């Protein structure tokens, strides 16, 4: 696992550098680049920087690691955040998360990059601690009707789908993440982020000094 501790500004810059690297490598090797992204604080941190990346955006396909079951124009929509801060500025190919069945059929395998934020409770995408969706292994996409934070109805890539990406990037910032990350680093931690960090073959953890306080 690669770990970088830096300011939010540097993390945003580093994310753009890594996006350009990973996309360039994928385009040269396979002619297309597939990345799945979250909403939340990671979106507001890195998406404006992503918009400045110099890429052949017509061959970049953007998917979502999870989505709230709301209209795409709703303020809670992860698609809306990405579109407002990034995708409206570049000609990438966006694949909004409309339905479980559609994503299971169309989602490429493996993704080139799965980008994840982390909640203060250790959740990633919409996979929450102790929730049955975290244990689903026979589906690429799971549906939640009872997520422990609003809105309750969500769609999420399953844990095997996330950790199966060629690269997994996990970004955590702020002091509300510090104790959670300390717990996640214990070898017996069952937190969703801990499982991602342990089980993904190629994972990068990027944190700011506040989140890294106990690491």
Count of domains in the chain? 1
Strands 113-117, 60-64: pairing is unpaired
8 domain residue, yes or no: yes
Mean pLDDT, rounded, for 69-82: 96
Angle of CA points 50, 118, 164, to nearest 5°: 75
Tokens of 55: 């890429």
Provide the CATH number for the domain around residue 48.
Answer: 3.40.50.1360
Quote the domain boundaries for residue 99: 2-207
Number of other residues whose CB lies within 10 A of the CB of residue 156? 29
Burial class (CB in 10 A: 0-12, 13-18, 19+), 91: exposed
Mean pLDDT, rounded, for 45-67: 97
pLDDT bucket at 135, cuts 50 / 70 / 90: very high
pLDDT tens-digit profile of 142-154? 999 999 999 999 9
145 domain residue, yes or no: yes
52 domain residue, yes or no: yes
Model pTM? 0.96
pLDDT bucket at 98, cuts 50 / 70 / 90: confident
CB 157 within 8 A of CB 140: yes
């Amino acid at each position: 696992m690669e770990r970088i501790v830096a300011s939010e500004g540097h993390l945003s810059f580093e994310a753009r550098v890594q996006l350009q690297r990973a996309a360039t490598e994928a385009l040269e090797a396979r002619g297309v680049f597939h990345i799945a992204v979250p909403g939340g604080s990671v979106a507001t941190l890195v998406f404006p920087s992503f918009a400045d990346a110099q890429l052949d955006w017509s061959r970049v396909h953007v998917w979502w690691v999870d989505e709230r079951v709301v209209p795409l124009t709703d303020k809670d929509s992860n698609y809306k955040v990405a579109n407002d801060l990034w995708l409206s500025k570049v000609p990438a190919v966006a694949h909004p998360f409309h339905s479980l069945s559609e994503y299971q059929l169309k989602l490429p395998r493996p993704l080139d990059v799965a980008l994840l934020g982390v909640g203060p409770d250790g959740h990633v995408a919409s996979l929450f601690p102790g929730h049955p969706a975290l244990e689903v292994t026979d589906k690429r996409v799971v549906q939640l009707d009872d997520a422990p934070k609003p809105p309750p109805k969500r769609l999420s890539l399953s844990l095997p789908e996330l950790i199966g990406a060629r690269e997994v990037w996990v970004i955590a910032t702020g002091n509300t993440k510090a104790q959670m990350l300390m717990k996640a680093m214990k070898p017996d931690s069952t937190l969703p982020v801990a499982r991602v960090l342990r089980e993904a073959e190629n994972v990068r953890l990027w944190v700011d000094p506040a989140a890294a306080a106990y690491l």
